[in-house]
Structure 1
Amino acid sequence: MTAPSRRAIANSVATRLVSVAKATGYYGQIGRPLPGQALVSDGGTVPDDPQPKDPLNGDMRVKPYFILYPGAGSPSDELAVADTITDLVMPLPITAAAGDIEDLLALCDRILGVFDTWRPAIDGVAFDRVRFPLGYVPGQYLTDDQFKPARLYIRLPLQLTATT
């Protein structure tokens, strides 16, 4: 059997992330919107760069945003029974960023919440749930001082196992 389509899996996950509220999502890089996210809730288009929270009132901290960086993945470590099963463990890391800690934590909740009981629906492929690698616990957020005001961010190294 052949491995499931990495592109189809990544696009399915990216499309699911469109439902994350109160944040701009990017696909692979800042400037590229998630599939199906051509418009944002205020009727505009997805900005090429993350926007300030409230520039008219002087709040230049960044609005919450995230970037999905799908990886190519690799076969799982489990043995296939008579070479009839192909597993693909696909990394789906997401970097979540915001202008303050409360916005960042709320964004993490919303991102993880869209995957709570969801699995992709691709013909001929069975999926486990989107999760962190076994034993992984997300660590401390980081600060990007390259921007003023600084941005807070955290890497969520999610993954998904697909079986054909």
Structure 2
Amino acid sequence: FFTGWGIRTIALGAARYNPMSYHNGSIWPHDNALIALGFARYGHRAAAGRILEAMFAAASYMDLRRLPELYCGFPRRRGRGPTLYPVACSPQAWAAGTPFLLVQATLGLTFDPSRHEVRLENPYVPSFLDHVLLRNVSLCGASADLLIHRDGDAVSVEVIHAEGEIRVSVAYDYSRSALA
């Protein structure tokens, strides 16, 4: 299903597969974000990061770096961008939310308003990035700027600015399933 640009709606060998079909082999950024969140919830942050990297690369070929509603499901080729779907909407509201959900999935970003806490659980930064900067992460009237660094497979989180009552916690589960 994975093309290098994302995960298709239908696999290459399926009878109905057509990479230029609206639903039978195309790539939908919104669906890929949900798939990444599912991977992350089952402890597969690297798989979620692979989708983030694919969407980031695809967006670099798009007008204004804006992900469209969908694009064709052809395999990725060196030096060429994804094949645009001729009548895909761009901007598209649900596609516009894709980067936020992908960041949430890879960083394990959750919020606990009752504790005024921003939490990163088993954060993962894909190898194509050295760091991620989250500005003005707001919760209950407070906010924080977070700098998440990748050093090899290790990830560190630095609070570079905070205003108001806000806690930032980082949790790691070193069990085998959480790191898969």
TM-score by length of 2: 0.29
Q: Which has the higher contact order (CA 8 A, sep 6+)?
A: 1
TM-score by length of 1: 0.30
